[in-house]
A = this chain, B = another copy of it.
Amino acid sequence: MTVRLSRRYEFFASHRLHSASLTDEQNREVYGKCNNLHGHGHNYEVELTVRGEVDPVTGCVVELALLDRLAEEQILAPFRYRNLNEEAPVFRTVVPTTENLGVEIDRRLRAAWERTFAGGEPRLDKVRIRETDRNICEIAQIR
């Protein structure tokens, strides 16, 4: 029986939406107040969804302690209480929108997943970022 298990994590970070490829006026047009020079921040929620067979002995799809360790190393340690633009190298050149933050978390987690599970079960099914109650981004294996 294949199931999906989702687990949520939270971190608080700040960011500024500003693209070096756009003029100041274009930046204000695209990002509105999110382009404010000094940045602002959010209570981010990350939901990781794992997919696989339920282990007949433990009744689990994934060992939760292992999932929590991957989340700590790949998501919480690098982003918790951070200014994303200043402290996450990737966001020096990439704009830290919800989409790009999701893509980066997905990329980091998949690399660690590959090192841990070597392509076997369980699979990482989905990464979902909730920036505010109104804005949610999901990176699924559409690829």
Question: Which residues in A have some Cβ–Cβ distance to B below 8 Å?
Answer: 1-10, 12-15, 17, 19, 21-22, 30, 32-34, 36, 38-43, 47, 49, 51, 54, 57-61, 63, 65, 80-83, 86-87, 94-100, 102-103, 132-140, 142-143
Contact = CB atoms under 8 A, between A and B. Distances in A.
Nearest to A96: B59
Contacts of A140: 3-4
Contacts of A81: 33-34, 36, 40
Contact of A99 (B17, B59, B65, B94): B59
A76 to B, nearest CB: 10
Given A2-B143, A40-B14, A51-B142, A99 B61 contact: yes
29 contacts: A1-B103, A1-B143, A3-B140, A4-B138, A4-B140, A5-B98, A5-B137, A6-B136, A6-B137, A8-B135, A13-B40, A13-B41, A14-B38, A22-B57, A30-B60, A38-B86, A38-B87, A39-B41, A40-B80, A40-B82, A41-B41, A41-B42, A42-B43, A47-B136, A54-B97, A54-B100, A54-B103, A58-B95, A58-B97
